Amino acid sequence: MGTASKYTGSCHCGNVRFEVQSDLADVISCNCSICARAGYLLTFVPESQFELLAGKDAQSDYQFNKKHIHHLFCKTCGVRSFGHGKAPDGSEMYAINVRALDGVDLDDLRVKKVNGKDL
C-alpha cells in the first residue's frame, strides 16, 4: 500500500455508508475482548479523513471500560464498520474496520498483531 487512497465502505445492508482516506499501511489485528469477538482489522485516521455518507441515525453506540471509544454498529444488520474516539494526543480519530471497505484485498495488507488484551 503506501499511497493514501479514498475508499468507500458500508455495513452489510447498506444503511451505513462512508468514505475514508487512508494508505492502509498500518492495519492491526488486536486481541482485546471486543476486537477479537468482532473480527476487526483496524486502521486509524484523523477525523478530517473520514466522511459519513449515510446512516447517522441507523447506528447504535456501545461503550465499555473507560468509555473512550464509541463502538458503532448498524441497528439493522449489526455490522461494525467503524468507531470513533480520541487519539492519544486528544484529537478526534476514527477506527475503520478494513473488512467493511469496498475493493480491498485483505491478502495484500501487512497486518500487525497488537496485544490489546494486556493493555
Whether residue 32 is contained in a domain is answered as yes
Distance CA(64)–CA(62), nearest Å, equals 7
State residue 73's pLDDT score.
96
Long-range contacts of 65-71, Cβ-Cβ distance < 8 Å, separation of 24 or more:
69/95, 71/34
Q: Give the pLDDT band of residue 89 (cuts 50, 70, 90).
A: very high
DSSP 69-87: EEEEEETTT----EEEEE-
* Cα–Cα nearest to 97, from 2, 5, 22: 22
Whether residue 119 is contained in a domain is answered as no
The pLDDT tens digits for 27-37 are: 999 999 999 99
Give how many domains the chain has, as a whole number.
1
* H or E stretch at 17: strand 17-22
State residue 66's pLDDT score.
81
State residue 67's pLDDT score.
83
- Residue 76 amino acid letter: T
State residue 29's pLDDT score.
96
Whether residue 40 is contained in a domain is answered as yes
Whether residue 104 is contained in a domain is answered as yes
Q: What is the mean pLDDT of residues 74-95?
A: 95
Q: Domain containing 37 — which CATH number?
A: 2.170.150.70
Distance CA(9)–CA(20), nearest Å, equals 8
- Tell me the whole-structure pTM to 2 decimals: 0.92
State residue 1's pLDDT score.
52
What lies within 8 Å, CB to CB, of 8 at 6+ separation is: 17, 18, 19, 53, 101, 102
